[in-house]
Amino acid sequence: MTVQDEPANEIVDPVVSESDNEAMPEPGRIFLDANSTTRPYPEVIETVAHHLRFAYANPGSRHAEGRKARRVFEEAREKIADLLGASPSEVIFTSGGTEASNMAIFGFASSVPEVIALTAGEHPATIESCHALVQRGWKLVNMDVDSDGRLLQGQFAALPWDQLKLVTLILAHNETGVIQDTGVLAQHCVQRGVPLHIDAVQAVGKIPINFRELQATSLSLGAHKFHGPRGIGALLLRDGVKLAPLQYGGHQESGRRPGTEMVALAAGMARALEICHDDMNSRIATLQSMRDDLEQRLLATCEPTVINSPAEHRLPNTLNISFPGVDGEAMLVALDLEGIACSLGSTCASGSAEPAPVLMAMGRSEDVYKSAVRFTLSSDNRPEEIPAAARRIAAVVKRLRDIASP
């Protein structure tokens, strides 16, 4: 069998079938659930399909096909490192953000049980990992947030630093979009030699991220949150830091993550991140303008309302808003029937409709956190969708309030 060479000038399209239209949004539907996942950019789909066809070999093999796959894989690593302010040697590919956070938490907690500090309302990937460690004898210390969901900066000196083995922090919250100021906490960790893990799954691709400037020990990300393919993510791990492996069975990723490398997906993730970083300031401004338009329209037509994140220090695409007097679960179903896709509770908690713990940590009352809905936008959305979305949402809120108070 001869080696299939990559045509010099061929642009390889993804496989096209009659069902392709089924993957497109239905006419009239408006997708406002981008923090749960995003649709891969067309260029990303083309990249993945291209490398599945031409870089199909095992990158660990020593033959020509394997070396070609290895080049593609390492070029993806270099591109991701460059865009995120890291060294290529600091990029460990994973199956996604959840695995990356698990790898960091369990890797740093491989010694005799001591203490882990985390923020109230962390993502389930962090919370459930830490609770599993509690079963092994570890103790948890919660760092408090204020009514805006931001870390209280004055509490860091009082943490039990002599017992801490890890501090873990979500950089941009998946439910509220609140962005944390990590500088002071990072300085405490550096001074005391305590690893700091940052969950940046919701932040990467939406706002500028520089791993080196964050002074973190590790950072997790997942491609499908920024229009990349599902099934691929990464853990950035500072050079020279030892991390116990989560899995065994291979030498890949410097022995930290065994298994045959996913070359095409890594290339797709690098391409998605590259697109997000192209003219990022303009993308941020466009998303924020649409989000603010939706917010103002809902404030004007759906009183009473509560915005569950500050105007500043928030992801440009995220609106978490409560409609007191409305049941959040009922609203989610009604909005879906009206062609609006959105979320409540934690999307990654096995379809749970439970209220986001962060809202309770922020001191929100029961009628506020039980009526909270999250609307999140992406570059797939268009400004002309916003008035229609606001009208549908307002109509659903009015109808459900009328039913609740006949």
Q: What is the mean pLDDT of residues 136-148?
A: 95
How are beta strands 196-199 and 164-170 bridged, if at all? parallel
Provide the pLDDT for residue 10.
37
Cis peptide before 304 (omega within 30 of 0): yes
Looking at the structure, do residues 302 and 393 belong to the same domain, yes or no?
Answer: yes
Same domain for 108 and 168? yes
* Counted domains in the chain: 2
Beta bridge mates, 207: 204
**φ, ψ at 142 (rounded to 5°):** -90, 135
Instruction: Determine which one of 130, 276, 302, 348 is catalytic.
Output: 348
What sign results for the dihedral spanned by CA atoms 3, 6, 8, 12?
Answer: positive
Q: Percent of the chain scored above 70 by pLDDT?
A: 88
CATH number reported for the structural domain that contains residue 126 in this entry: 3.40.640.10
User: Of 212, 246, 277, which one is at a domain's C-terminal end?
Assistant: 277
Alpha-carbon distance 301 to 312, whole Å? 23
Could you give the CA distance from residue 225 to residue 401 in angstroms, rounded to a whole number? Answer: 33
For residue range 185-207, list pLDDT tens digits in order.
999 999 999 999 999 999 999 99
Structural domain span for residue 298: 280-404
In the structure encoding, which two tokens stand for residue 375, read together? Answer: 């609307």
Mean pLDDT, residues 124-135 taken together = 93
**312 and 167: one domain?**
no
- In the listed set 236, 260, 277, which residue is the last one of a domain according to the structure? 277
Q: What is the pLDDT of residue 256?
A: 75
Please identify, among 228, 246, 277, the residue that sits at the C-terminal boundary of a domain: 277
Pair 128, 188 in one domain = yes
200 in any annotated domain: yes
Q: Is the pLDDT of residue 27 over 90?
A: no
Give yes or no: 189 in active site. no
Which residues, at least 6 apart from 64, have a Cβ–Cβ distance to it below 8 Å? 3
Same structural domain, 187 and 217: yes
Identity of the residue numbered 276: C
Residues 250 and 377 in one domain: no
pTM of the model: 0.90
Residue 345 sits in the same domain as residue 373: yes
Q: Are residues 60 and 170 in the same domain?
A: yes
Question: Is 26 part of a structural domain of the chain?
Answer: no
At 249, the pLDDT band (50, 70, 90 cuts) reads low
